[in-house]
Every structure is written in structure tokens, then in C-alpha cells.
């Protein structure tokens, strides 16, 4: 087990290093950040001075070496735009995005899995058909369209919820719905088809034949097997969730990490982009590591190959 974790940790670190490097190179190729920071009529010498102060005049491999050194020393640099340490900027907003993301993730699983199980055991019933219809529709609507529709309905129409901003609990409601609905649908559909597969298996009949009650047959014997493929997809959802939160935060002017990174990209605020993508890379690789570990719990054939 320890070997398994160490091996996967090493792989995760390798992955993160790779992503950080690619992002570093791409940002340097994306153009001159002083374009956005200085007025259009700024003189060439002013521009040059600014680039020197940012260290952008040096060869890229020197910049890269310095950047890696800083990262290892947990120095993420200052934002070009806000002129403040990137760490501080992120710390202010991370809580909100984290709340949004974790809540969305938990809700998607908590609703999606039971819905899928229900649809599978009531296959072809009215409930099943409604569920499938809803799921296709919810999956088809992009988060930002859904966000705008929600604003029309709840903010402009019913005047129940604030259309944008962040701070109170009410500010979370619509972003959460916009972010989560697609995932719920997706997980429900996947759980359903995986469950239908498992419901045909002999070991359920053999459990029934030894006197196990139907509820235990479903929730003890079938569900754990059905979740094995679902767990893989849930891992992939983390990536989609982060992408989705960037869009949704922008739609709802929700002041979190997503909107920070989007504006940083527009302003060529390299330190913010780099730190943001690194955090995302860390989040994704580590949740995938957790998924891999839980995979072993769900499926002993992986934990103890024969």
C-alpha cells in the first residue's frame, strides 16, 4: 500500500511539473504584458524599463530557472496588475471557490448516485423515463447558458436571488445550480447504466438465494460493484468542475479564483496565471490520486491482483 501511494505521489509530482513548465512557456509566448499595463502611448524606454523590472528581458531559461527556484521556496511572486503578492490574492478568494467546488461535488454525488440507482431498479418506469429525459436536457445545456436563464428567472423575474456578487449564502445558490446540474445528470446516467449491468449478475441471485433481503442485495451487493466505473468518471469530473467554475464565476460576477484567473489571462498577469494553473494541476492530480486509491477499496481485484 505504501509503495502504491509513493509511486503515485511521484507520478503526480511529475505531472504537475510538466504542466507548470508548459504553462510557463506558453505565457512567455503569449505576448508582452506591458501592453496592457501601460498606456498605448508609453515610450519604448518606459516599456523596456518595466520589462527589466519584471525580469522579462532575460533569456527564457534563466527566467524558468528562477521561477522554479521561487516555487520551491513557496515564493509565487507579485501580481503585475494588483502589485501584491499572488499568495495573498489567492488566499482572499480561495475560500469562496473552494466552498462552491466542494459543495457542487458533494451535491452531484449525493443526488446523482441515488437517482441513478432508483432509475435502474425501476427500469422503464415513468420515474426512469423522466429521469433520463431530464438528464439528457441537463447535460445538453452549457453552464453559462443555464446561469443566464437562472438570472432571468430568479433575479429579474421572481426577484428572489441576487444576480451577481459574492458574500452571503444567497449568492451561492445560482452558481451552485449552474455548476452542478450537468454533473448530477451525468453521474445519474452513468450510475444507472452501470447498475443495470450489475443487476444482471449471478452473484445477486446467489445473495438472494442465501436469504439476503432485496434492499441489502441492491445497496450492499450491487451498488459497490456498480460504483467502480462511476468512480473513474467522478475523477474526470473534477477537471470539468474547475473549468465550469471559471465560466460560472464570470457569469455571476462571483469573486473567486475562477474569475481571478480569467481576468489575469486577459491582462497577461503571468504570476497569477502560473500560480492559478499550478493550483488547478495540483487539485486535479491529487483528486485523481484519491480516486485511484478509492478504486482499490471498491475493487479488490485491483488491490490484490492474483
Partner 1 sequence: MNMLLSVRNLKTYYRSGSSVVPAVDGVSFHLRKGEVLGIVGESGCGKSTVARSLINLLDKSNARIEGGEVLFHGEDLMKQSRKAWSRIRGKKISMIFQNPQSALNPVYTVGDQIAEALTVHQKMSRKEARDRVVELLKLVGIPEPESRLTNYPHEMSGGMQQRAMIAIALACHPEIVIADEPTTALDVTIQAQILALMDRIRAQFQMGMILISHNMGIVAEMCDRIMVMYGGVVVEEGETAAIFAAPSHPYTKGLLASIPSLDEDRDTLYAIPGSVPRLTAPVGHCRFAGRCAYAKSKCWESEPPLIEGENGHRSRCWLMEAPDRGHDDERE
Partner 2 sequence: MNENKEVLAEVKNLRKSFPVNKGMLWRRRSGAVRAINDVSFNIYKGETLGLIGESGCGKTTLSRIMMGLTDATEGEVLYKGQQVGAGAPSAFRKEVQMIFQDPYSSLDPRMNIRRIIEEPMRIHTKLSARQKLDRILFILEKIGLDEDALERFPHEFSGGQRQRIGIARALVLQPELLICDEPVSALDMSVQAQILNLFKQLQQEMKLTYLFISHDMSVVKHVSDRVMVMYLGRIMELAPKRKLFGNTLHPYTSALMSAIPLPNPELRRARTLLEGDLPSPLNPPAGCPFQTRCPKAQAVCRTRMPALQEAEKDHFVACHLYSGEAGA
61 part of the interface to partner 1, by CB under 8 A:
no
For partner 2, the binding residues (CB under 8 A) are 7, 10-11
| Residue among 63 and 201 whose Cβ is closer to partner 1 | 201
Selected binder of partner 1 within 221, 269, 281, 284 (CB under 8 A)? 221
Selected binder of partner 1 within 5, 127, 224, 243 (CB under 8 A)? 224
Q: Kindly identify the residues of this chain, within the stretch 15-54, that bind partner 1 according to CB under 8 A.
A: none
| Residue among 6 and 137 whose Cβ is closer to partner 2 | 6
Q: Which three cell numbers stand for residue 91?
A: 488566499
Write each residue from 227 to 266 as x if it is in contact with partner 1 (CB under 8 A), else as -, in one continuous string: ----------------------------------------
Selected binder of partner 1 within 212, 231, 283, 293 (CB under 8 A)? 212
Work out what residue 208 binds among partner 1, partner 2, none; the CB cut-off runs from 5 to 8 Å by kind.
partner 1
Q: Do residues 31 and 51 make contact, with C-beta atoms less than 8 angstroms apart? A: no
How would you classify residue 268: left for phi > 0, otherwise alpha for psi between -120 and 50, otherwise beta? left
For residue 42, the 8-state DSSP code is -
| Residue among 7 and 220 whose Cβ is closer to partner 2 | 7
**Closest C-alpha among 167, 151, 147, 161 to residue 255:** 167
Q: Do residues 266 and 220 make contact, with C-beta atoms less than 8 angstroms apart? A: no
DSSP class per residue in 188-202? HHHHHHHHHHHHT-H
Query: What distance lies between CA 29 and its chain's CA centroid?
Result: 26
Q: Is the dihedral of CA 121, 127, 131, 132 positive or negative?
A: positive
For residue 142, the 8-state DSSP code is -
Selected binder of partner 1 within 191, 194, 225, 277 (CB under 8 A)? 225
Work out what residue 11 binds among partner 2, partner 1, none; the CB cut-off runs from 5 to 8 Å by kind.
partner 2
| Residue among 83 and 209 whose Cβ is closer to partner 1 | 209
Could you give the CA distance from residue 278 to residue 286 in angstroms, rounded to a whole number?
12
Residue 85 φ/ψ, nearest 5 degrees: -55, 135
Minimal distance, residue 18 CB to partner 2, in Å: 14
Question: Which positions touch partner 1 (CB under 8 A)?
Answer: 201-203, 205-214, 216, 221, 224-225, 298-301, 304, 306
Amino acid at each position: 500500500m505504501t509503495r502504491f501511494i509513493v509511486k503515485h505521489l511521484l507520478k503526480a509530482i511529475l505531472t504537475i511539473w510538466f504542466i507548470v513548465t508548459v504553462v510557463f512557456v506558453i505565457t512567455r509566448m503569449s505576448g508582452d504584458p506591458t501592453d496592457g499595463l501601460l498606456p498605448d502611448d508609453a515610450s519604448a524606454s518606459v516599456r523596456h524599463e518595466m520589462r527589466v523590472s519584471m525580469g522579462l528581458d532575460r533569456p527564457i531559461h534563466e527566467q524558468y530557472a528562477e521561477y522554479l527556484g521561487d516555487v520551491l521556496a513557496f515564493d509565487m511572486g507579485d501580481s503585475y496588475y494588483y502589485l501584491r503578492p499572488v499568495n495573498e490574492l489567492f488566499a482572499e478568494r480561495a475560500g469562496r471557490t473552494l466552498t462552491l467546488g466542494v459543495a457542487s461535488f458533494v451535491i452531484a454525488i449525493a443526488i446523482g448516485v441515488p437517482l441513478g440507482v432508483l432509475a435502474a431498479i425501476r427500469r422503464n418506469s415513468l420515474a426512469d423515463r423522466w429521469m433520463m429525459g431530464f438528464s439528457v436536457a441537463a447535460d445538453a445545456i452549457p453552464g453559462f447558458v443555464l446561469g443566464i436563464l437562472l438570472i432571468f428567472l430568479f433575479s429579474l423575474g421572481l426577484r428572489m436571488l441576487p444576480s451577481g456578487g459574492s458574500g452571503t449564502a444567497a449568492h451561492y445558490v445560482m452558481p451552485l445550480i449552474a455548476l452542478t446540474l450537468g454533473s448530477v445528470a451525468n453521474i445519474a446516467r452513468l450510475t444507472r447504466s452501470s447498475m443495470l449491468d450489475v443487476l444482471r449478475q449471478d452473484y445477486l441471485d446467489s445473495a438472494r438465494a442465501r436469504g439476503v433481503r432485496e434492499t441489502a442485495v441492491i445497496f450492499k451487493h450491487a451498488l459497490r460493484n456498480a460504483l467502480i466505473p462511476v468512480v473513474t468518471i467522478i475523477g474526470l469530473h473534477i477537471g470539468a468542475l474547475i473549468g465550469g467554475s471559471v465560466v460560472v464565476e464570470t457569469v455571476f460576477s462571483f469573486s473567486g479564483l475562477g474569475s481571478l484567473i480569467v481576468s489575469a489571462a486577459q491582462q497577461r498577469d503571468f504570476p497569477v496565471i502560473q500560480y492559478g494553473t499550478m493550483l488547478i494541476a495540483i487539485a486535479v492530480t491529487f483528486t485523481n490520486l484519491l480516486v485511484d486509491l478509492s478504486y482499490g477499496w471498491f475493487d479488490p481485484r485491483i488491490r490484490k491482483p492474483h
